[in-house]
Amino acid sequence: MGAHSVFLILFGVAAIAIVVHGQGQAGFISIDCGSPPNINYVDTDTGISYTWDAPYINSGVNANVSKEYGYPANPVLPFPLADVRSFPQGNRNCYTLTPSDGKGNLYLIRASFMYGNYDGQKALPEFDLYVNVNFWSTVTFRNASENVIKEILTFAETDTVYVCLVNKGKGTPFISALELRPTNSSIYGTEFGRNVSLVLYRRYDTGYLNGTGRYQNDVYDRIWSPYSQPSWNTTMTTGYIDIFQSGYKPPDEVIKTAAYPRSNDEPLELSWTSDDPNARFYAYLYFAELESLKRDESRKIKIFWNGSPVSGPFNPSPEYSMTLSNSRAFTGKDHWISVQKASDSTLPPILNAIEIFTAQSLDESPTTAEEVYAMESIRSTYSVQKAWTGDPCAPRLFPWEGVGCIYNDSDDHHIKSLNLSSSGLQGPIALAFGNLSYLESLDLSNNNLRGFVPNFLADLKQLKYLNLKGNNFVGFIPKALRKESKSGGLALSVDEQNICHSRSCRDGNSIVVPIVVSTLLILLIAALVIICVIRRERKIVDLGAYSGPLLPSGKRRFTYSEVSSITNNFDKVIGKGGFGIVYLGSLEDGTEIAVKMINDSSFGKNKGSSSSSSSSSSKVSKEFQVEAELLLTVHHRNLASFVGYCDDGRRMALIYEYMANGNLQDYLSSEAAEDLSWEKRLHIAIDSAQGLEYLHHGCRPPIVHRDVKTANILLNDNLESKIADFGLSKVFPEDDLSHVVTAVMGTPGYVDPEYYNTFKLNEKSDVYSFGIVLLEIITGRRSIMKTDDGDKMNVVHYVEPFLEIGDIDGVVDARLQGDFSSNSAWKFVEIAMSCVKDRGIHRPTMNQIVSDLKQCLAAELAREPQSLHEKKEKNTKTAPVRKYSVSDYISSTGSVSLTFGDYNTYGPTAR
Ligand SMILES: *[C@@H]1O[C@H](CO)[C@@H](O)[C@H](O)[C@H]1NC(C)=O
Ligand SMILES: *[C@@H]1O[C@H](CO)[C@@H](O)[C@H](O)[C@H]1NC(C)=O
Ligand SMILES: *[C@@H]1O[C@H](CO)[C@@H](O)[C@H](O)[C@H]1NC(C)=O
Ligand SMILES: *[C@@H]1O[C@H](CO)[C@@H](O)[C@H](O)[C@H]1NC(C)=O
Ligand SMILES: *[C@@H]1O[C@H](CO)[C@@H](O)[C@H](O)[C@H]1NC(C)=O
Ligand SMILES: *[C@@H]1O[C@H](CO)[C@@H](O)[C@H](O)[C@H]1NC(C)=O
Ligand SMILES: *[C@@H]1O[C@H](CO)[C@@H](O)[C@H](O)[C@H]1NC(C)=O
Ligand SMILES: *[C@@H]1O[C@H](CO)[C@@H](O)[C@H](O)[C@H]1NC(C)=O
């Protein structure tokens, strides 16, 4: 078995390896758990391409099996079993699998475990295995060299499948290999539909004893154990049998051999005893006639279970394989399947193969999707350093650290308590907390949170305990919270010195005071402005809900004349965008801002001509104000801060923070990009992905950007990227269909083909555009480029030919001179290509993209730390190394330094 020593190191992760290896392993995920970094290889025994596991999990430690079980002492050891990943930390550790076929499909998942005394303890552990929130199996061992294989057929309700190892206090869980295979969703049905998973009990290739058990022509990569009994004989054929007729597709070798009883009148019998008398078994029996029957011969078969007829009589077909199964589960302790010949059959019964499964109920509910999104958003916003993987509440005994749940059998789980005390949180309180609507207890004490205590906390109707001590909040406790606290409905802890709690704040609406204070300042400067603001006394701003940046003046609504003076009479144009021209502005204190004036025409043209132009423009103005106020509440460190607006009923402007390094499109084509390392590119990608993730999953209702492109991604002096121009589609709603039909919003080169064809817009349209952005980051090329012969070419078409031949160096920006981890690069390209799939449903969500990109970053960082370190030092001058943390909005506006974008000349275009 020298075969084991021969293995190929491929560049790609599993999905990319398909490109290299052809269609055979499409959709396979094959993970060699615990293997050294960046190892990807083809197991020559099986022809299967394995990849290392870091991209799928971020906890656990690697170990090799001990000498006596590994090579060279044990040359027949399957390669993936030579090392393991073990989980000494945490009760629950989960692998996150994202099958390329996505949700709504049936998957075979197989986990392999060989202890091999990897920890030197000579103690066989016992632990549990879960798929998503449901119990799968308990893993136990008889000895250190036993290869325990667990296999389950499960239907994916979501795009991600979690495989979790749960520590029951009987030893440290570990895993050797993990595999996922797509199967045909219309097979392996049960009376419960897809409400159960099928856990493999036995899979026998009856009649054949020489097989390896694993056949390359099994499209689902099932492992068939050769099986026979002394009283059985074997028959086989070399003729053609159609295995495709039914979706079960047994391998040729399996179906072309069959068992039959040595003695003509005997049945073929299989029996087993179940440990669990309530277990529900399903058997799938495979038949095909392998002999050419003479005229007077017939083979008719009946199937019995515990003496009762289950199926038949039927004749196996000589042309194709057929699969029979029990429509009602077999239950009880003792089971006995008998394949018999019917009374009018001249030939004995045969059996080509059989699979037996137990049904595992999917009776555990997940946590409500909205709360899962909220928790994921909290995790990513604050980079929470906890083992938060899988579902927050389930399995029940092991919710996420710091999370308490409400379990109600007739409902999804809800999050009841969240303790993020001393967890290093920085920045404002994220909106996502407001989505945990069942929260009773929230402990955010001893972090570095700042800004206002937001109003939305008062919308948490169940909240009974709120601890905000040990943070840097300013301003006032929202009235509603104060009221709850006074009436005893809420135990509220805050630092008194930072927060105004007193009677003087309480008069009237708490938000009035800050406005009056800042207004007084302005009064000294421009009394006229105040009169204007007061006269228009609409509900101006709800500061309580505002946790983002403020202009130093505290002001967010400007008059036209102020805007004119801020921009020095519209002196310096810094960009032109779809909606209008962008000017550089400067506040009294020198803070630089970008002012985007909205074309009159952007407004007028979409509106109905039936109403008079003046009434239509006042309607627009009103919509504009409502939307602008809404956008002012949207804040995230990766969204360009929208800090104010102007609206005098006719002329409108949006005011943004200014960002020094301009937009990504210009940056990528500038000389500065020579120094843009692979790691920095990943940071930029992750930043902007997080911005979009927040729009899609952190905002309620979600905001679809509609014009994601490199020109709308801005870079500050630290090269942190922020998404700009989000929410403009909300400011300018398309209110009549004709407009929708004639003008697909967006920019050529970035428009989602599905949206373009169907006019159905959703978050996945942004994902497409973002895929193009990623390809630009990877290749350093424009979304639409000129070819040598003067034609135009989309970056997707530019990349595809390189991928087909597996040439990653051809894809990646030549300016990097090959200085990147090829694993990271393959994964990055894979993510980008998955975003630009034709069908939106096949594209990943922004949540997924963020977590995948972080894995790319991890892969890059895992590469030769020495040389990376040197590089970083070299580059500090141009772009300081930065930490991942929620930025401090409130103070950052005091020294807003850079950026503003949309310098492109494309606009919303009709095609
Ligand atoms: C396991 O063995 C391989 C090959 O000998 C080695 O490269 C790797 O570092 C070992 N892993 C651990 C965790 O010891
Ligand atoms: C370990 O257990 C397996 C399964 O029972 C058995 O096949 C194998 O022979 C055992 N190996 C040793 C070394 O005892
Ligand atoms: C399976 O679940 C669906 C809903 O998910 C339900 O409508 C159906 O009745 C269930 N079927 C069985 C047999 O439990
Ligand atoms: C299995 O292998 C043995 C020895 O290699 C051979 O004699 C026998 O014919 C084979 N059986 C089948 C069914 O192929
Ligand atoms: C799944 O199996 C059914 C028959 O059961 C077949 O009609 C269908 O084409 C199969 N789908 C795929 C994707 O193979
Ligand atoms: C079983 O197979 C052997 C050889 O393969 C053959 O000699 C014998 O007759 C067979 N038994 C029956 C009942 O067909
Ligand atoms: C469980 O959920 C159901 C449906 O949402 C609800 O009617 C019931 O009151 C809940 N039970 C408990 C104990 O909360
Ligand atoms: C939150 O956890 C900290 C320690 O981790 C503990 O001191 C505190 O009491 C917990 N808060 C609540 C509300 O249980």
The model's confidence at residue 188, banded by pLDDT at 50, 70 and 90, is very high
**Which candidate, 486, 742, 746, places its Cα nearest to that of 605?**
742
CA 577 to ligand 4 center in whole angstroms: 75
Nearest ligand 4 atom to alpha carbon 234 = 13
> Which of 155, 195, 328 to probe ligand 3 with, by most ligand atoms within 8 A of CB?
195
pLDDT band at 767 (very low <50, low <70, confident <90, very high): very high
- pLDDT greater than 90 at residue 642: no
Lowest-confidence region among 553-562, 572-581, 736-745: 736-745
In the reported structure, the alpha carbon of residue 466 is separated from the centroid of ligand 8 by a whole-number distance in angstroms of 12
Ligand 7 atom at minimum distance from 406 CA: 14
The atom number, within ligand 4, closest to the CA of 210 reads 1
pLDDT-based confidence at residue 206 (cuts at 50, 70, 90): very high
| Arithmetic mean of pLDDT, 157-178 | 94
DSSP string, 1-50: -GGGG--EEPSS-HHHHHHHH-GGGTT-EEEETTPPTT-EEEETTTTEEE
Q: What is the pLDDT at residue 139?
A: 97
Residue pair 797/836 in contact (Cβ under 8 Å)? The answer is no
Identify the nearest ligand to the CA of 143 by its number.
2
Asked if residue 112 has pLDDT above 80, the reply is: yes
Residue 269 pairs in a beta bridge with: 338
Ligand 2 centroid to residue 144 C-alpha, Å: 8
> What six digits make up the tokens of 111?
């986990």
CA of 114 to the centre of ligand 1 (A): 16
Instruction: Give 872 Cα–ligand 6 centroid separation in angstroms.
Output: 74
CA–CA distance, 164 with 814 (Å, rounded to integer): 40
Lookup: tokens for 750: 């970035």
CA distance 604 to 726: 21
CATH architecture entry for 543-658: 2-Layer Sandwich (3.30)
Specify the CATH number of the domain 33-186: 2.60.120.260
For residue 235, the CA-to-ligand 6 centroid distance in Å is 9
Distance CA 37, CA 14 (A): 14
Tell me how far apart the alpha carbons of residues 451 and 474 are, in angstroms, rounded to a whole number: 6
Instruction: Tell me if 448 CB under 6 Å of ligand 5.
Output: no
CB of 184 within 8 A of CB of 122? no
Q: Which two tokens stand for residue 663?
A: 């937009």
152-166, 492-506, 862-876: which is most confident: 152-166
Q: Is 186 in the pocket of ligand 5 (CB under 6 A)?
A: yes
Coil vs helix vs strand at 452: strand
Tokens read off for 741: 């039909």
Substitution site in 210, 253, 257 for ligand 4 pocket (most atoms within 8 Å of beta carbon)? 210
Any ligand 2 atom below 6 A from CB of 441 = no
DSSP string across 673-738: GGG--HHHHHHHHHHHHHHHHIIIIISSS----S--SGGGEEE-TT--EEE-STTHHHHS---SHH
Q: Which ligand lies nearest the alpha carbon of 470?
A: 8
pLDDT at site 713: 92
Q: Where are the alpha helices (DSSP H) in 198-274?
A: 252-255
Q: How far is CA 112 from CA 55, 146, 175, 903, in A?
A: 18, 10, 6, 54
Task: Indicate which residue's Cα is closest to atom 14 of ligand 7.
Answer: 408
CA distance 556 to 541: 8
**Residue 402 is encoded by which pair of tokens?**
């710091």
Taking CB atoms and a 6 Å cutoff, what residues make up the pocket around ligand 4?
Answer: 208, 210, 234
For 619, the 3-state DSSP assignment is: helix
| Residue 64, ligand 1, Cβ within 6 A | yes
Measured in angstroms, how far is the CA atom of residue 272 from the centroid of ligand 3? Answer: 30
**3-class DSSP state for residue 335?**
strand
Q: What's the confidence (pLDDT) of residue 744? A: 54
Lookup: tokens for 53:
């596991």
Distance 408 CA to ligand 7 centre (A): 6
Distance (Å, whole) CA 751 – CA 754: 9
Q: Which CATH class is domain 371-407+428-474+476-516?
A: alpha beta
Per-residue pLDDT reduced to its tens digit, 39-64: 889 988 888 999 999 999 988 999 99
Written as six digits, the tokens of 322 are: 């057929």
Calculate the average pLDDT of the chain: 79
Which residue of 83, 85, 119 sits with most ligand 1 atoms within 8 Å of its CB, as the best mutation to test the pocket? 83
CA gap 551, 641 in Å, rounded: 10
Cα 817 to middle of ligand 8, angstroms: 50
Rounded Cα gap, residues 543 and 530, in angstroms: 18
User: pLDDT-derived band of residue 193, with 50, 70 and 90 as boundaries?
Assistant: confident
Query: 118-163: per-residue pLDDT in tens?
Result: 999 999 999 999 999 999 999 999 999 999 999 999 999 888 899 9
User: What pLDDT, on a 0 to 100 scale, did the predictor assign at position 909?
Assistant: 28
Closest CA to ligand 1's atom 13: 63
Q: Worst-scoring range by mean pLDDT, 47-61, 281-295, 540-554?
A: 540-554
CA-nearest residue for atom 5, ligand 7, is 411
**Which strands, in side-by-side order, build the sheet including 652-657?**
557-558, 642-647, 652-657, 592-598, 581-586, 573-576
Ligand in nearest proximity to the CA of 119: 1
Please give the Cα distance from 36 to 32 (Å, whole number).
9
CB 272 within 8 A of CB 295: no
Ligand with the closest atom to the CA of 409: 7
- Residue nearest to ligand 2 atom 7, measured at CA: 146
Nearest ligand to the C-alpha atom of residue 264: 6
CATH 3.80.10.10 in the chain, residue ranges: 371-407+428-474+476-516
Return all residues near 230 (Cβ < 8 A) that are at least 6 apart.
none
Asked if residue 36 has its Cβ within 6 Å of ligand 1, the reply is yes
Residue ranges of the chain assigned to CATH 2.60.120.260: 33-186
pLDDT at 351: 95
DSSP-assigned letter for residue 458: G
Work out which ligand 2 atom sits closest to the CA atom of 142. Answer: 2
Q: Is 746 left (phi over 0), alpha (psi -120 to 50) or beta?
A: left
- Mutating to test ligand 5, I would choose from 186, 220, 242, 324 the residue with most ligand atoms within 8 A of its C-beta, which is 186
Q: How do beta strands 61-64 and 83-86 pair?
A: antiparallel
C-beta 141 within 6 A of ligand 2: no
Every domain range in the chain assigned CATH 1.10.510.10: 661-883
Residues pairing with 268 in the sheet:
339
Q: Is 66 close to ligand 1, i.e. is its CB under 6 Å away?
A: no
Q: Phi and psi for 135 in degrees, rounded to 5?
A: -60, 140
pLDDT for res 745? 63
- Is-contact 236 257, C-beta < 8 A? yes
Give me the amino acid identity at 496: E
Is residue 809 in contact with ligand 2, taking CB distance under 6 Å?
Answer: no
Residue bearing the CA closest to ligand 7, atom 10: 408
d(CA 853, CA 380): 12
Asked whether the bond before 701 is cis by omega within 30 degrees of 0, the reply is yes
Residue 408 Cβ inside 6 Å of ligand 7? The answer reads yes
Is residue 600 predicted with pLDDT exceeding 90?
A: no
730 labelled ligand-binding:
no
Centroid of ligand 3 to alpha carbon of 194 (angstroms): 8
Cβ of 145 closer than 6 Å to ligand 2, yes or no, is yes
Distance CA 908, CA 451 (A): 36
Ligand 1 midpoint to CA 166 (Å) = 25
- How far is residue 224's CA from residue 863's CA, in Å, rounded to a whole number? 39
Identify the active-site residue in 666, 707, 752, 888: 707
Q: From start to end of 494-624, where are the E strands? A: 557-558, 573-576, 581-586, 592-598
Which atom of ligand 4 lies at the shortest distance from residue 207's CA? Answer: 13
Ligand 6 mutation pick, 262, 268, 290, max ligand atoms within 8 A of CB: 262
Q: Establish whether residue 184 lines the binding site of ligand 5, counting it when its CB lies within 6 angstroms of any ligand atom.
A: yes
User: Which helix H or strand E contains 324, and what residues bound it?
Assistant: strand 322-325
* Helix/strand/coil for 455: helix
Phi, psi of 802 (to 5 degrees): -65, -40
Q: What's the CATH architecture for 7-11+205-361?
A: Sandwich (2.60)
Q: What percent of the chain has pLDDT over 70?
A: 79
Please state the CATH superfamily assignment of the domain spanning residues 661-883 in this structure.
Answer: Transferase(Phosphotransferase) domain 1 (1.10.510.10)
Of the ligands numbered here, which is closest to the C-alpha atom of 68?
Answer: 2
Minimum CA distance residue for ligand 5 atom 9: 247
Of ligand 5's listed atoms, the one at least distance from the Cα of 187 is 5
Cis link prior to 78 (omega < 30° from 0)? no
Decide which of 13 and 499 is more confident.
499
Average pLDDT of 566-578? Answer: 78
Residue 479 pLDDT level (bands cut at 50, 70, 90): confident
Is residue 2 over pLDDT 60? no
Q: Identify whether 707 is a catalytic site residue.
A: yes
Between 739 and 234, the more confident residue is 234
